[in-house]
Amino acid sequence: MARSAKEQLEYYYKNREHINDLRRLRHKEHPERKKAWDRTYHQIHRKEQNERQARWRLKLRKEAILRYGGKCFCCGEDKLEFLAVHHVNGHGREHRKQVGKATSSTFYRWLIKEKRPDISVLCHNCNSSIGFYGYCPHKERR
C-alpha cells in the first residue's frame, strides 16, 4: 500500500535516526552508492548556487545600468535586455584588466560604487556599430 507524502514525512521524522543509521550502514556496505548520493547532492547544490549567482549578477547589472542612466546614450533604447555598460573610449576589456576586476560581478559592484564619467550605457546595436565601424549610424544621419 502506498503511503501519502505526509505519512512518509511523519514516518521519516519519527524514525529519522534509525533511517539515517540504515543509510550510513548501507553506504558503508556500498561505497559506490554513497558516492552516487554525494554526486547527486553536489549537483543539486551546485545548480542552486549557479542560479542564485546568475540572479545576483542580473541584479547587479540592472543596478549598474540604472546608475548610468538606464537607457542607450546614443538611441535612447531603454529595454534592460538590450543594454550594457560600456567605456566611452571603447577600452572596456583592457580597463577591466587594469583595475583588476576579473569577474563581472565585481566589475559591476565597482561601477555602482564609483559612478565613472567615462562609462555610459549603450544598447547592443549601437555598441557593435561603434565597435565595427567606429561610429553609430544614429549619429551619422543627423
Binding site for Zn ion (CB under 5 A): 72, 74-75, 77, 123, 126, 136, 138
Name 34's Cβ contacts closer than 8 Å, sequence gap at least 6: 27, 28
Q: Nearer Cβ to Zn ion, position 67 or 77?
A: 77
CB atoms under 10 Å from CB of 84, counted, come to 16
Overall residue count recorded for the chain in this entry: 142
Set of cell numbers at residue 33: 552508492
Q: Minimum CB separation from Zn ion for residue 61, in Å?
A: 17
Helices marked H in the chain:
5-14, 16-29, 31-67, 92-98, 104-114, 124-133, 137-140
Tell the residue number behind the cell numbers 542607450, with chain if given.
72
Q: Nearer Cβ to Zn ion, position 92 or 109?
A: 92
DSSP three-state, residue 83: strand
Q: Minimum CB separation from Zn ion for residue 133, in Å?
A: 11
Q: Nearer Cβ to Zn ion, position 75 or 112?
A: 75
Name 12's Cβ contacts closer than 8 Å, sequence gap at least 6: 19
Q: Minimum CB separation from Zn ion for residue 42, in Å?
A: 43
Q: Minimum CB separation from Zn ion for residue 126, in Å?
A: 3
Q: Nearer Cβ to Zn ion, position 15 or 89?
A: 89
Q: Minimum CB separation from Zn ion for residue 106, in Å?
A: 26
Q: Nearer Cβ to Zn ion, position 77 or 108?
A: 77
